């Protein structure tokens, strides 16, 4: 199957999961995580209307953005399409790469410390704009995962409320890599409940709207539990070369 076929299959699964949860499928934004794909494959998905793409490394994100206009021109597409793409920085972000990520991203998914938040705040002030980001929470408590520990999330969000150039618009988390969907569901329920609590603390609450959870192996469960953003890479582009035996 081609990446175009894979995208259509994933879209069908997204719609079915949303309907099972009595949700409007349009309330779920599919992010195609393109780290294992080529620039030409990205263009193939753009032809099908895909506009949200995610990268986990800042350097690769910058390279994709730089390559895209020429790739779009080679495919005889309208040059303005490049400006319609929303790029998501979904990986762990180091403070020394925060400025590059802020300049390249429509949304940063992984703010996981006050120090990073303060760095992005200063960058936003220098740029004269607000930087949109999600608070990453380590719901599972796994030492191998990044994110703010669950008990500290509410308190840290209260501190973030004092920032003017960093706009926190929601939460992000990763479930454990477990074949049992019940494990992922438990984590997603916890994150959704935290999201609902924090949203009541938000000022104004209508700015706190995104719940980023779910990847190729568990995005349907995530949608059933309220995800507004799902990050799907392998199911669209296939495994990365390093993951192939």
Displacement of CA 225 from its chain's centroid (Å): 16
E-strand stretches of 34-174:
52-55, 86-89, 107-111, 131-138, 148-149, 166-172
Lookup result for tokens 């994110």: 147
CB 109 within 8 A of CB 92: no
Question: pTM of whole model > 0.85?
Answer: yes
The helix (run of H) or strand (run of E) holding residue 16 is helix 3-20
Compute CA distances 26 → 14, 50, 73, 103, whole Å: 10, 13, 29, 27
Compute CA distances 49 → 58, 127, 160, whole Å: 24, 30, 35
CB 172 within 8 A of CB 109: yes
The helix (run of H) or strand (run of E) holding residue 42 is helix 39-47
Lookup result for tokens 């949109």: 132
Q: What is the pLDDT along the chain (245 residues), one digit of tens a residue?
A: 899 999 999 999 999 999 999 999 999 999 999 999 999 999 999 999 999 999 999 999 999 999 999 999 999 999 999 999 999 999 999 999 999 999 999 999 999 999 999 999 999 999 999 999 999 999 988 888 899 999 899 888 888 888 899 999 999 999 998 888 889 999 999 999 999 999 887 766 668 899 999 999 999 999 999 999 999 999 999 887 654 33
Buried b (16+ CB within 10 A) or exposed e, 135-171: bbbbbbeeeebebbebeebeebbeebeebebbbbbbb
pLDDT for 221:
97
The domains found in the chain, sorted by start residue, are 3-21+28-237 (3.20.20.10)
């Amino acid at each position: 199957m081609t990446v175009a076929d894979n995208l259509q299959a994933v879209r069908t699964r997204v719609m079915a999961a949303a309907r099972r949860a009595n949700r409007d499928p349009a309330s779920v934004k599919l992010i195609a995580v393109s780290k294992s794909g080529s620039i030409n494959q990205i263009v193939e998905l753009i032809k099908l209307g895909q506009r949200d793409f995610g990268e986990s490394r800042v350097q690769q994100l910058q390279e994709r953005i730089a390559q895209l206009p020429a790739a779009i021109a080679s495919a005889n597409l309208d040059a303005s399409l490049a400006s319609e793409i929303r790029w998501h920085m979904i990986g762990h972000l180091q403070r020394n790469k925060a400025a590059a990520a802020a300049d390249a991203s429509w949304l940063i998914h992984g703010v996981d410390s006050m120090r990073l938040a303060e760095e992005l705040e200063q960058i936003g002030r220098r740029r004269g704009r607000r930087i949109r980001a999600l608070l990453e929470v380590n719901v599972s408590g796994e030492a191998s995962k990044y994110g703010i520990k669950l008990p500290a999330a509410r308190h840290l969000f209260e501190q973030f409320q004092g920032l003017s150039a960093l706009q926190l618009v929601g939460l992000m988390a990763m479930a454990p890599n477990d074949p049992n969907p019940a494990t992922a569901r438990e984590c997603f329920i916890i994150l959704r409940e935290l999201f609902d609590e924090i949203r009541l603390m938000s000022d104004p609450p209508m700015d706190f709207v995104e719940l980023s959870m779910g990847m190729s192996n568990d995005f349907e469960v995530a949608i059933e539990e309220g995800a507004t953003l799902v990050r799907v890479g392998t199911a669209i582009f296939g495994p990365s070369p390093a993951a192939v035996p």
